């Protein structure tokens, strides 16, 4: 099973200057809960944007065109086929967590979408690729709690591919 896990603002912004443009601990907790169930696949820039990478207690698979790229604690792959082959070694979901090129690469294969919408707008330079939500069924919708640490209204949405 292949999933996408991401947060976006009302305009589809997912990043600015290689970072998240917001602070939302509830989304980080949701992200962790989902991704601890399997392996995570990401691009090099996404890996390098994570504080203290790699993500703990998950196999981190990084896809990069740089043939000499190495990073302690991660499996480096150079194309989608290598990523899928690496994930097939275990019977676990593959959670694609960014960046844009990885989302685009796996768009036709993704089975589940774990989407957080932040009901606000932010300055950004990176946007989630166009996803045809008609191909997916919304199976869960949970309104996030706004509090002192989570100042932005947000909704957690889980979709499953139809058919």
Contacts of 50 (CB under 8 A, 6+ apart): none
**3 SS3 class:** strand
54 preceded by a cis bond (ω within 30 of 0)? yes
Region 99-127: mean pLDDT is 98
pLDDT for 149 equals 97
pLDDT for 138 equals 98
Region 58-76: mean pLDDT is 97
Domain residue limits at 137:
2-161
pLDDT for 116 equals 98
Contacts of 129 (CB under 8 A, 6+ apart): 100, 103, 104, 107
Our measurement of the distance from residue 47's CA atom to the centroid of its chain's CA atoms, rounded to an integer in Å, reads: 11
Nearest to 139 by CA among 156, 120, 121: 156
Residue 134: phi and psi, rounded to 5, are -65, -20
Quote the number of domains for the chain. 1
Q: Categorize the per-residue pLDDT at 83 as very low, low, confident or very high, splitting at 50, 70 and 90.
A: very high
User: 81-98 burial, b for 16+ CB within 10 Å, e for fewer?
Assistant: eebbebbeeeeebbbbbb
Looking at the chain, the whole-number percentage of residues with pLDDT higher than 70 is 100
Give me 112's structure tokens. Answer: 């589940």
What are the start-end ranges of the E strands in 22-145? 39-43, 60-63, 74-77, 94-96, 112-118, 126-127, 136-143
Give me 41's structure tokens. Answer: 């696949």
For residue 109, what is the domain's CATH number?
3.40.430.10
pLDDT for 7 equals 98
Residue 46: phi and psi, rounded to 5, are -65, -45
Enter the pTM of the model.
0.97
């Amino acid at each position: 099973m292949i999933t996408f896990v991401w947060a976006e603002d009302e305009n589809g912004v997912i990043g600015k200057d290689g970072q998240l443009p917001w602070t939302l601990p509830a989304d980080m907790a949701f992200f962790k809960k989902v991704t601890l169930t399997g392996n995570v696949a990401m691009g090099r820039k996404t890996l390098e944007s994570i504080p203290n990478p790699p993500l703990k207690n998950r196999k981190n698979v990084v896809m990069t065109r740089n043939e000499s790229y190495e990073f302690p604690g991660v499996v480096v792959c150079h194309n989608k086929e290598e990523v899928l082959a690496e994930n097939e070694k275990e019977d676990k979901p593959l959670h694609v967590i960014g960046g844009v090129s990885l989302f685009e690469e796996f768009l036709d294969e993704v089975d589940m979408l774990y989407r957080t919408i932040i009901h606000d707008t932010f300055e950004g330079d990176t946007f989630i690729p166009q996803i045809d939500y008609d191909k997916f069924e919304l199976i869960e919708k949970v309104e996030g709690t706004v509090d002192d640490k989570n100042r932005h209204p947000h909704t957690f949405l889980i979709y499953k591919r139809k058919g």
